[in-house]
Amino acid sequence: MAASNAQQSGKRHIRLKILRQEAQDKLPRYETFDVQPEPGANVISCLQQIAARPVTASGEQSTPVAYDAGCLEEVCGACTMVINGRVRQSCSCLIDQIAPNDGDTITLEPMTKFPVIRDLWVDRSRLFHALKRTSSWVPIDSIYDRGPGPKELPDKQEPRYVLSTCMSCGCCLEACPQYNPRPDEKDWDEAFIGAHAISQVRLFNLHDTGKQLKSERLEALMGPGGVSDCGNAQNCVKVCPKEIPLTESIAAIGRAVTVHSIARWFTAR
């Protein structure tokens, strides 16, 4: 039996209890590891320590824990996981804050609303599909120079700024009771789209060039799985790491969808 990491020195150690799953069709199980965090360490650096020496707390040889990460500065959203029962980014989760004492335990689990690829790494394709479903972009691509777009003044830019900080992390979807975990891909367009996409519709419909696609974005949110499926539980706004006013976005888009559907009813007659 190999000695565990904590048995290597007398330094402060903490225990990571990690929900592991080899693949989507395999049963999950917890495994515990002891690590010795440096001052200022985050959860990812502890996972790196395990990767360098994957031996469990009971001294069994194991394997490195799989997780996703990109920016390591809470910008890409890729490292999102459930830490001590709360969904958040593992790169900005500091050990000294959540496990300040020797021997403290931190539980790491993958998000539950997305299929597990392996261990803490999940497949967020459905989240990105929702952005495609709502044309969440500014339509500027072309094969010729279209000239300058409309001038954007600060009083319009400012309210959009916070909406533009969404990093597609999935926290708002993990916390949402209406966001059904793992429907089949063929049902994605009928399942509740989630607060992140609704807020992105608000962002791009407020943009002077982006609003060219305003009608099709609102159409995408009119049917099943659209904005009216929101149950107003307001969990999303509480967990968003960027403090995006998601419930304000949902209310604003709900009103815009109503106005759009009335206008459509009149123009169709």
Contact flag: residue 66 with ligand FES (CB under 6 A): no
Could you give the angle at the alpha carbon of 136 between the alpha carbons of 70 and 201, nearest 5°?
Answer: 115
DSSP state of 145: -
Stretch that binds ligand SF4, among 55-63, 94-102, 116-124, 167-175 (CB under 6 A): 167-175
Taking Cα atoms as reference points, which of 210, 52, 46 lies closest to residue 138? 210
Rule CB under 6 A: choose which of 28, 59, 64, 70 binds ligand FES.
Answer: 70
Could you tell me where the DSSP H helices lie in the chain? 43-52, 95-98, 125-133, 154-164, 171-175, 195-205, 214-220, 235-239, 246-268
According to DSSP, residue 35 is labeled E
For the chain, how many residues are written? 269
Pairwise CA distance, residues 133 & 137, whole Å:
11
Closest CA to 43 of 107, 125, 112: 107
Q: What is the DSSP letter of 118?
A: E
Q: Among residues 62 and 180, whose Cβ is nearest to ligand SF4?
A: 180
User: What does the per-residue mask of binding to ligand SF4 show for 55-94, with x meaning CB under 6 A?
Assistant: ----------------------x-----------------
**Contact partner, 162, from ligand FES, ligand SF4, none, Cβ < 5-8 Å per class:** none
Per-residue contact string for residues 230-269; x = within reach of ligand SF4 by CB under 6 A: xxxxxxx---xxx-x-xx--x-------------------
Q: What does 227 bind: ligand SF4, ligand FES, none (CB cut-off 5 to 8 Å by kind)?
A: none
With the CA atoms of 218, 220, 225 and 228 taken in that order, what torsion angle do they form, in degrees rounded to the nearest 10? 10
**Region from 39-47, 116-124, 169-177, 203-211 binding ligand SF4, contact rule CB under 6 A:** 169-177
Which of ligand SF4, ligand FES, none has residue 231 at its interface (CB below 5 to 8 Å by kind)?
ligand SF4
Which residues are at the interface with ligand SF4 (CB under 6 A)?
77, 166-172, 175-176, 178, 195-196, 199, 230-236, 240-242, 244, 246-247, 250
